[in-house]
Structure 1
Amino acid sequence: MSSGALSGALPGGGLPSVADTLPLQVGMVLVCVALAGWVLAVWLLLRQPRVPTSPPDDYLKPVSPADLPVDPLPACAVVLDGLGAIVQVNEEAASQFGETVGAILRHPAARSALSAALRVPAPSGTAEGNSRGDLPPVCSTTFTLDVPVPRTLHLMLRRLPGGKGQDKRVLVVLNDHSEARAADRTRTDFVAHASHELRTPLASLSGFIDALQGAAGENPVMRQQFLDIMRQQSERLKRLIDRLLYLSRVQAHEHQRPRDLVDVADLMAVVLGEVAPRFEREGRTLTLEVEDDLMVRADEDEMVQVLLNLIENALRYGAKEDEPLTITLSARRAVIPDDRWPADGGVILGIEDNGCGMEAHHLPRLTERFYRVGAPTDGAGQGTGLGLSIVRHILDRHGGRLRIASAPGKGTTCLVWLPAAGTALAVSLVE
């Protein structure tokens, strides 16, 4: 083919050149790159955490008492308003502290911690990575209440979000450290008091052992006499240790109110079964006077111990020479009004005897540890001096009262007042 023919064919319909297709290809590549970059940017944006610039509206709105589920909390929780008045008390706090919740929260240390908690600003929502904002700090305090029984309490207070002025809310968590402090007091009291009481029987035992190792051990009559005295001293030592251990157990949970309902008639039946053998001796009479339908919230075993101790004292120290001893065990409702007892009624248990009685100056000291009025009148061994101290601590735990009246030659009357069932765990929400 000639050169003229070739040159004529190109302009008329031949294939396009490389220079003509290059701009189209470059444009398609640029579009793909831009699309991929946009997809990558959107993906990275979605991966980033969202940090709010302000807390949620429902977090900062005023908190209603109905919005605070404090009952399920496994702790003693109380909610207070901006004036320190009680708004809510959960079931755990009501059962453990009862009517003393108000007294606890009125303590100066508790009021000071409440003021500090109320001064804390409302929580903000600027905490990084925390959509609910920073929690306010916890204000805590520890103090001891001496009435009605010594209790060491640790309170933790934290302001709740929302609310202004009186509408502020503060959550209070109460922890009772009384048991640990009671254990410390028990160890101290044992060193201070029990060591002196234990020294007497131990010295007696040591002396008779030395005597038996000498010439007295070869004399059958003296040996038997000394062994009998040693047996009495060892029994006294055992009773003393048992009483000390029982007293320490009572003090360990003295701050915990009993929750069981006890029928007084059943309680008296148990006591009668325990003391009946003691009245088989001639010259002793026990009478019983119990009203119907008397219920108390109490620990039955501890109340049996109270009545047994009082009856034991009447038998041990009340008997007169050549005159029968009569002891009356009674239970009745408290008469209202009566200045000797609280105004909310209650139940009175009484132990009255016609024995020799005692002088008035002994009465204020009868519940002191190791205090004894005199020698036993029934020929029994010397008491430990802890019986009425145990009675006092048990009644303190029950929120009860003890009144003792006596006069020489006119017998002794011991009255125990106990709250009626349903009043021991009542909680007043009125400050």
Structure 2
Amino acid sequence: MPPGGLPPAADTLPLQVGMVLVCVALAGWVLAVWLLLRQPRVPTSPPDDYLTPVSPADLPVDPLPACAVVLDGLGAIVQVNEEAASQFGETVGAILRHPAARAALSAALRAPAPLPSVGSSGRGDLPPVCSTTFTLDVPVPRTLHLMLRRLPGGKGQDRRVLVVLTDRSEAQAADRMRMDFVAHASHELRTPLASLSGFIDALRGAAGENPAMRQQFLDIMSQQSERLKRLIDRLLYLSRVQAHEHQRPRDVVDVADLMAVVLGEVAPRFEEEGRTLKLEIEDDLLVRADEDEMVQVLLNLIENALRYGARSGDPLTITLSAKRAVTPDDRWPADGGIILGIEDNGCGMEAHHLPRLTERFYRAGAPTDGAGQGTGLGLSIVRHILDRHGGRLRIASAPGKGTTCLVWLPAASALQVASAIE
């Protein structure tokens, strides 16, 4: 041991311990910095131009299978795709000027860009969609649904908003028709049921002891039960027609044979005095149709003419016709066809009834032939049958001048006739 000193090992021990502690501290700092660098950097507030700006020329809105419009920050139209132009035309501007659309545009422009989530690419998510639904009354009532979203980039007027327009008028009309149908059907079914219930209660009382009154009540109950049966049968038939309305008929029907079946059904109705049926039928008329359904169409139209067309004291003449559509007419497709007509010289009806005649349960007036009230479903059945056949129905009438119902059907082609023969 050196005089006055420590052993050599004792001199180097504190130095080694210090170096180890320094190394451990440096390793800890390196690890902390490394962990800090791996954490995502989340800004406290997203920038306004949070994504790369997109110019209008870069927006591929034409291929979109929807009605798309691009607006700038002031609401001016920048782009309109072909789908929107074809469906809405010049009304796009009026739609976007609606107060509800302007409010939704303001909300879309104010919507902030959301913060990027952990593990994302750092570009951020798209801003939320702002939507609104409103109804335009001009030129015709239309219910429209708009969805708006601010597009990436831009400030102020240079901002862009994508608008997707959807016309919900047809869906809303269908919902309204379903509700009206349930309401009308409930009313039509309730009326005969209430009558039957009332007379049953009366027969249980003193009226049941009077033979004449009992017979009168039973006759009325029989009429009401028949009315109820007709209504249920019509509703079931209408349901069957609608079930296969999308399937076009495949049979080729000779119109002469069709008219022969109809004539056999209605001939007894014209044996009464003051009723005359005339026939005007061309030869060699062939249509692609379901014969039973077309018989139903003609029977319903003739029944309406008999029920509502007669005038007190005046003879009623109904003309049943069938001819080729050879004269150019805007009412029918340009490729010709066959026209079946039912014309009467009866009392006619006001013009305001015509657009609503094919609505379910709609009646233009009270019966004039003394028969009971109809179900109000006959012309609705006619319309659905013709929709299945690709046909058209046109009704013309005026008070005191009778009513004309024309049914247009596509003629059967030579290929269809040959296929049917085979």
TM-score normalised over the length of structure 1: 0.55
CA distance, structure 2, for counterparts of residue 215 and residue 380 of structure 1: 30
The amino acid across from 2:345 in the alignment is N
Give 1:374 deviation, angstroms.
Answer: 1.3
Q: Which residue, 330, 335, 342 being the options, matches 1:344?
A: 335
Aligned to 1:319: 310
1:67-106 alignment, distance < 5 Å? none
Q: Which residue, 194, 199, 209 being the options, matches 1:208?
A: 199
CA contact (8 A) 1:399 1:424 kept: no
Question: In 2 relative to 1, CA 413–322 (structure 1 residues): closer, same or farther, beyond 3 Å?
Answer: same
Q: What's the secondary structure of 1:349's corresponding residue?
A: strand
CA contact (8 A) 2:339 2:407 kept: yes
CA distance, structure 1, for counterparts of residue 334 and residue 178 of structure 2: 38
Q: Which residue, 198, 203, 223 being the options, matches 1:232?
A: 223
Question: In 2 relative to 1, CA 389–352 (structure 1 residues): closer, same or farther, beyond 3 Å?
Answer: same
Q: Which residue, 365, 370, 377 being the options, matches 1:379?
A: 370
Aligned to 1:196: 187
Question: In 2 relative to 1, CA 314–375 (structure 1 residues): closer, same or farther, beyond 3 Å?
Answer: same
CA distance, structure 2, for counterparts of residue 423 and residue 403 of structure 1: 27
Aligned to 2:15: none
CA distance, structure 2, for counterparts of residue 424 and residue 412 of structure 1: 36
Q: Is residue 301 from structure 1 mapped to residue 292 from structure 2 by the alignment?
A: yes
The amino acid across from 1:383 in the alignment is G
CA contact (8 A) 2:339 2:408 kept: yes
Aligned to 1:289: 280
The amino acid across from 1:247 in the alignment is L
The amino acid across from 1:398 in the alignment is H
Q: Is residue 399 from structure 1 mapped to residue 390 from structure 2 by the alignment?
A: yes
Q: What's the secondary structure of 1:377's corresponding residue?
A: coil
Q: What's the secondary structure of 1:393's corresponding residue?
A: helix
Q: Which residue, 382, 392, 399 being the options, matches 1:408?
A: 399
CA contact (8 A) 2:396 2:405 kept: yes
CA distance, structure 1, for counterparts of residue 184 and residue 382 of structure 2: 18
CA contact (8 A) 1:290 1:330 kept: yes
Aligned to 1:174: none
Aligned to 1:419: 410
Q: What's the secondary structure of 1:237's corresponding residue?
A: helix
Q: Which residue, 351, 355, 360 being the options, matches 1:360?
A: 351
Q: Deviations over 1:108-127 (max 9, x none)?
A: xxxxxxxxxxxxxxxxxxxx
Give 1:193 deviation, angstroms.
Answer: 3.3
Aligned to 1:390: 381
CA distance, structure 2, for counterparts of residue 345 and residue 424 of structure 1: 16
The amino acid across from 1:257 in the alignment is R
Question: In 2 relative to 1, CA 185–259 (structure 1 residues): closer, same or farther, beyond 3 Å?
Answer: farther
Aligned to 1:333: 324
Q: Deviations over 1:77-123 (max 9, x none)?
A: xxxxxx9xxxxxxxxxxxxxxxxxxxxxx99xxxxxxxxxxxxxxxx
Give 1:222 deviation, angstroms.
Answer: 1.2
CA distance, structure 2, for counterparts of residue 394 and residue 299 of structure 1: 9
Alignment: residue pair count: 247
Give 1:191 deviation, angstroms.
Answer: 3.8
1:24-39 alignment, distance < 5 Å? none
Q: Deviations over 1:265-295 (max 9, x none)?
A: 1100000000001001111000000011110
The amino acid across from 1:337 in the alignment is P
Question: In 2 relative to 1, CA 424–315 (structure 1 residues): closer, same or farther, beyond 3 Å?
Answer: farther
Q: Is residue 271 from structure 1 mapped to residue 258 from structure 2 by the alignment?
A: no
Q: What's the secondary structure of 1:338's corresponding residue?
A: coil
The amino acid across from 2:346 in the alignment is G
Name the stretch that deviates more: 191-200 or 416-425: 416-425
Aligned to 2:208: 217
CA distance, structure 1, for counterparts of residue 329 and residue 269 of structure 2: 34
Q: What's the secondary structure of 1:403's corresponding residue?
A: strand
Q: Is residue 246 from structure 1 mapped to residue 237 from structure 2 by the alignment?
A: yes
CA contact (8 A) 2:181 2:360 kept: no
Q: What's the secondary structure of 1:222's corresponding residue?
A: helix
CA distance, structure 1, for counterparts of residue 178 and residue 380 of structure 2: 17
The amino acid across from 1:326 in the alignment is T
The amino acid across from 2:397 in the alignment is S
CA distance, structure 2, for counterparts of residue 208 and residue 287 of structure 1: 43
Q: Deviations over 1:317-362 (max 9, x none)?
A: 1011111100000000002311110000000000000000000000
Structure with larger RCO (C-alpha < 8 A, sep 6+): 1
Name the stretch that deviates more: 327-336 or 415-424: 415-424
Q: What's the secondary structure of 2:370's corresponding residue?
A: coil
CA contact (8 A) 1:186 1:248 kept: no
Q: What's the secondary structure of 2:248's corresponding residue?
A: coil
CA distance, structure 2, for counterparts of residue 374 and residue 185 of structure 1: 24
Q: What's the secondary structure of 2:319's corresponding residue?
A: strand
Q: What's the secondary structure of 2:311's corresponding residue?
A: coil
1:101-180 alignment, distance < 5 Å? none
Q: What's the secondary structure of 1:288's corresponding residue?
A: strand
CA contact (8 A) 1:260 1:298 kept: yes
CA distance, structure 1, for counterparts of residue 326 and residue 410 of structure 2: 13
Give 1:188 deviation, angstroms.
Answer: 7.3
Give 1:308 deviation, angstroms.
Answer: 0.2
Give 1:402 deviation, angstroms.
Answer: 0.3
CA distance, structure 2, for counterparts of residue 248 and residue 412 of structure 1: 28
